[in-house]
Copies of this chain bind each other. A is one copy, B any other.
Amino acid sequence: MQPLRLKIALDMMGGDHGPQSTLPAAIEALCEFPHVDLVLCGDAELLTTELEQAGYLNHPQLSVQHASQTVLMTDKPSVALRNKRQSSMRIALDLVEQNKVAACVSAGNTGALIAMAHFVLKMLNGVERPALISSLPSTAGSPVFMLDLGATVNCDSDTLFQFAVMGAVMAEEVEGISRPKVALLNMGEEEIKGSDQIKRTSLLLSECADINYIGYIEGNDIFSGKADVIVCDGFVGNVALKTCEGVAKLILKRLETALKNSMSAQLFGWLIKPFLKSMSLGVNPDQYNGASLIGLRGIVVKSHGNATKEAFLSAIRQAVREVERQVPVKIKDRLEHVLIDKA
Interface SS of A by simple majority: helix
Is A34 an interface position by the 8 A CB rule?
A: no
Is A282 an interface position by the 8 A CB rule?
A: yes
Is A279 an interface position by the 8 A CB rule?
A: yes
Is A242 an interface position by the 8 A CB rule?
A: yes
Q: Evaluate contact between A111 and B77: CB separation under 8 angstroms.
A: no
CB within 8 A of A250: which of B153, B192, B268, B283?
Answer: B283
Interface string of A222-260 (1 = CB under 8 A from B): 111000000010111011111111111111011100110
Distance, CA A47 to CA B224, complexed state (A): 38
Q: Determine how close the nearest CB of chain B comes to the CB of A221; give it in whole angstroms.
A: 6
Distance, CA A316 to CA B224, complexed state (A): 32
Q: Evaluate contact between A219 and B243: CB separation under 8 angstroms.
A: yes
- Nearest chain-B residue to A219 (Cβ)? B242
User: Count the A residues whose beta carbon is within 8 Å of the partner chain — how many?
Assistant: 63
Of the listed stretches A270-278, A289-297, A326-334, chain B binds: A270-278
What residues on B are CB-neighbors of A222 within 8 Å?
Answer: 243, 246
Distance, CA A50 to CA B113, complexed state (A): 64
Q: Evaluate contact between B235 and A249: CB separation under 8 angstroms.
A: no
Is A76 an interface position by the 8 A CB rule?
A: yes
Is A54 an interface position by the 8 A CB rule?
A: no
Is A24 an interface position by the 8 A CB rule?
A: no
Is A203 an interface position by the 8 A CB rule?
A: no
Is A298 an interface position by the 8 A CB rule?
A: no
B-contacting residues of A (Cβ < 8 Å)? 74, 76-78, 110-111, 114, 137-139, 150, 153-154, 185, 187-192, 194-195, 218-224, 232, 234-236, 238-251, 253-255, 258-259, 262, 264-265, 268, 271-272, 275, 278-279, 282-283
